[in-house]
Amino acid sequence: MPIFEFQCEECGEVFEELVLGNKIDGVKCKKCKGSKVHKLISQVAFKAGGKFVSSSGSSCGSCSGGTCSSCK
């Protein structure tokens, strides 16, 4: 189910809303009923995008990974 997190630009309220067909135009603040809301990036997507995967073991420091004589 496409549930997104929104923040109201009027009062700053953060709330979750079920959105069907990407129709975020009809989303209104649950606190002040304001229509000036914007979609927040979900925490899951933020964590996955910011994750840096570092490889270890094959690189010796003088090459990009297992291609020089000191790696073998």
The residues that touch Zn ion, with contacts defined as CB under 5 A, are 8, 10-11, 13, 29, 31-32, 34
Q: Which is nearer to Zn ion, 13 or 59 (CB)?
A: 13
From the number of C-beta atoms within 10 Å of its C-beta (0-12, 13-18, 19+), residue 49 rates as: exposed
Least gap, CB of 34 to Zn ion (angstroms): 4
Least gap, CB of 71 to Zn ion (angstroms): 58
Least gap, CB of 30 to Zn ion (angstroms): 8
Q: Which is nearer to Zn ion, 9 or 45 (CB)?
A: 9
Q: How far is CA 24 from CA 6, 18, 28, 32, 60, in A?
A: 9, 9, 9, 17, 51
Pair 17, 11: CB distance under 8 Å: no
